[in-house]
Structure 1
């Protein structure tokens, strides 16, 4: 379950330091960076999120505390075998336009994050991964003033689930060499040693 309270606290904290990045976009950047082949660096991510901010005083401390919490929580969630990862987005009772815009910003952030995380725009990678990244680019351009009706709500929920699973798929493919299970024979001996 996404941490709705953290979303709103972080969005307010980022606004307080005049950051151009929203909470959804910051989370998308982080998830993209975590999907890369290397280790995501917390300091590098925070520097990216606060690049154009005026972070000083108590507002800056509060923002840094929330960003640190988000980094820890997201790192754990994306590595969780039970797939409990969720994109950080507004509450379900927020206007559909606000939620759609946040989802678009999340996807925009994710695409930036994967570039920062070392995944190039072209290269030898699975077709499924390219399709997800292409779809994320389309979602980033989503209409931010859709009509509020049951059909739109259903479409939004389906998009959120697609983004959630797509992010995990990208992470799985990008980290496959790093996370490859050991190859063992029937006796439990590592085959790569022979």
Structure 2
């Protein structure tokens, strides 16, 4: 596993359970990603930064440490290699879809902890943030397994690109402007 490889959903779930964190892996990754995309800098005790209560700190060589390192590396990847931590494709569609909604809710919470005023965001970034809010608040129904599978893939890709857009607006843009000055 390289620094940019996410740990498995199961490994993150196991460590969260061990630490007594009452949040799903997708939601935690969403919160971490939102915090990073909003310009936050994660510390060793990043769960506390994200207002996630844990009975103790994550292991320095555990799944959560790997999640943190991979998330930072993926967001900085010039090839846009950012990936959402969601249940495996072999899991049931409804479980994966609910995890995506949880990821979006986590993202919005983490982003809100670190992001600048929405007035400072570009119009595209504000629109992406609004869309993530709509997705996070969605109610799902499953009527057409094949169509629903395709829709989930499309929405997942949209969420991934929206996160990258917000990261570009809040982190990469200001970094670029500082280098020019």
| Matched residue SS, 1:43 | coil
What does residue 133 of structure 1 align with? 129
Name segments (4+ residues, structure 1) moved above 4 Å. 2-5
- Report the CA distance shift for 1:151/1:71 in structure 2 as closer, same or farther (over 3 A): same
What does residue 32 of structure 2 align with? 30
- Tell me the TM-score normalized by structure 1: 0.80
- Structure 2 Cα separation of the partners of residues 182 and 130 of structure 1: 25
- Structure 2 Cα separation of the partners of residues 100 and 28 of structure 1: 14
- Report the CA distance shift for 1:4/1:33 in structure 2 as closer, same or farther (over 3 A): closer
Alignment of 1:31-46 (within 5 A): 31-37=33-39, 39-46=40-47
Query: Which one has the largest radius of gyration?
Result: 1
- Tell me the TM-score normalized by structure 2: 0.85
- Structure 2 Cα separation of the partners of residues 179 and 74 of structure 1: 20
Contact 2:19 2:56 in 1 (8 A): yes
Aligned residue-pair number: 177
User: How large is the RMSD of aligned CA atoms in angstroms?
Assistant: 2.6
What does residue 88 of structure 2 align with? 91
Contact 2:30 2:104 in 1 (8 A): yes
